[in-house]
Amino acid sequence: MKILVINGPNLNRLGLREPEVYGTKSLTELEQELINFAETQKVELTCFQSNHEGDIIDAIHESENQFHGIVMNPGAFTHYSYAIRDAIVSVTTPVIEVHISNVHKRESFRSESVTAAATVGQIVGLGFQGYRLAILALKELRGGTQK
């Protein structure tokens, strides 16, 4: 099984950016941890990060014939990108939305996700663990025994 992890804007600043909110580990550490975890689950993981809406949209479109699922943290695009929402709806690839922080405990604008309704589900506030849970959820969704 092949899964694409998409991290959106400013997530390349993990470890440096608001460590009290997002922790002290870098994006590279997150991606390496996820690749190691995915291996134990017989999942082939590809990690992608972009600060650009169009590149994220392209990655979603191109996922269709390459990946069985997407784990996506759209960053601040979550709160206003109808274009990313439409991209998710335009493909058959199942998407699980992840947020490292508990967006409901923060500024009110973070409580709204315009993308979540287009996804299978959302995992919020569990730190990096959220990404691992999303991988497990996609795997279960597809049926545990398939490759």
Please identify every residue annotated as catalytic.
Answer: 22, 99
What percent helix, strand, coil does the chain show, rounded to 5?
50, 20, 35
Closest CB to ligand DQA among residues 92, 108: 108
Closest CB to ligand DQA among residues 1, 103: 103
86 is in an annotated binding site: yes
106 is in an annotated binding site: no
The DSSP letter of residue 27 is H
Who contacts 69 (Cβ-Cβ below 8 Å, separation ≥6)? 1, 3, 4, 93, 94, 95, 96, 138, 141, 142
**What dihedral do alpha carbons 71, 23, 52, 106 form, nearest 10°?**
90
CB-based contact 97:78 (threshold 8 Å): yes
Closest CB to ligand DQA among residues 2, 127: 127
* Site residues for ligand DQA per CB under 6 A: 10, 73, 75-76, 78, 99-101, 103, 110
CB of residue 144 vs ligand DQA: minimum separation in angstroms? 28
CB of residue 65 vs ligand DQA: minimum separation in angstroms? 27
CB of residue 42 vs ligand DQA: minimum separation in angstroms? 27
Q: Which residues are annotated as a binding site for substrate?
A: 73, 79, 86, 100-101, 110
